Amino acid sequence: AGYICFTGSTPTGRLIARGCADRLIGCSLELGGKNPFLVLRDADLERAAEGAVRASFSNAGQLCVSMERMFVADQVYDRFVERFVSRTEAMSLGASLDWGVDMGSLISQAQLDTVVRHVEDAVAKGARVLTGGKARPDLAPYFFEPTILEGVTPQMTCFGEETFGPVVSLYRFHDEADAIARANAGEYGLNASIYSQDGARARAIARAIKCGTVNVNEAFGATFASIDSPMGGMRESGMGRRQGSEGIHRYTESQSVATQRLIRFAPMLGMSDATYAKVMTANLRLMKKLGRA
């Protein structure tokens, strides 16, 4: 292979990057994330709660762009949480492929074990489960309930480590500077979401968040569906971009082919260096006037 495009975990991405370096070939890596979801004080809370459900629990949280950290303004925290929990508890759960199921199963026993470990560790260290929190083998062997946690602290595994499952942690923030600092904390920088009715304000905050994509008033679909826009991560979330022109150019290598015309790079036979210098100077001045140099 002349180029590697990989989507997966950060540890595996590092191994691929080392292998590509040894072979002197390029690579683009879309890796892990601990994506932040910001609800500003002027957000449409119904819309934000609906987006939060999709952001956290689509594909049982097994999306690289899923949200695992939610930062909510003090002024609207309680009202948002009430709506978010209510919508989560109203979800239809099941392993069926039929229409009407809102969330399905995790992919493997190993992934279920990771989710259980993260939740049990958080609860043992003082986190509160607002809804969910349990495996559901009655629905499917690897099923875990959509889970909302509160009171998650840095001592807990799920605070900074990617869960990659239907688990999200809620936090209050006091002002926009606090929200931005919290969103940028940690090693990752893949995706973010901001809910606000002030578009200019949301975009200003988006520019301050160190991640590859930011969605305003949407969970992850706005950037993912913008096929002409590049998509990828910063920091531990990867390198390179997919989609758009950058997503095509990464598979190509540029080549320069030039044909020399008119002016030679050496004096003609019998021409002195001084005369050649005058000829070159005059030619370059003419080319500059013609816009060719």
Give the DSSP H/E element, type plus range, for residue 121. Answer: helix 109-124
- What does DSSP assign to residue 59? G
Catalytic position from the list 30, 161, 162, 236: 30
**Active-site residue flag, 64:** yes
**Active-site residue flag, 20:** no
Number of Cβ atoms within 10 Å of the Cβ of 278: 11
Q: Whole-angstrom Cα distance, residue 105 to residue 277? A: 76
Catalytic position from the list 64, 158, 161, 236: 64
The DSSP result for 219-253, as a single string, is SSHHHHH-TTS-B---GGGEES-BSHHHHHHTT--
The DSSP result for 186-218, as a single string, is SS--SEEEEE-S-HHHHHHHHHHS-SSEEEESS
Structure-block tokens of residue 54: 């999709």
**Catalytic residue set:** 30, 64
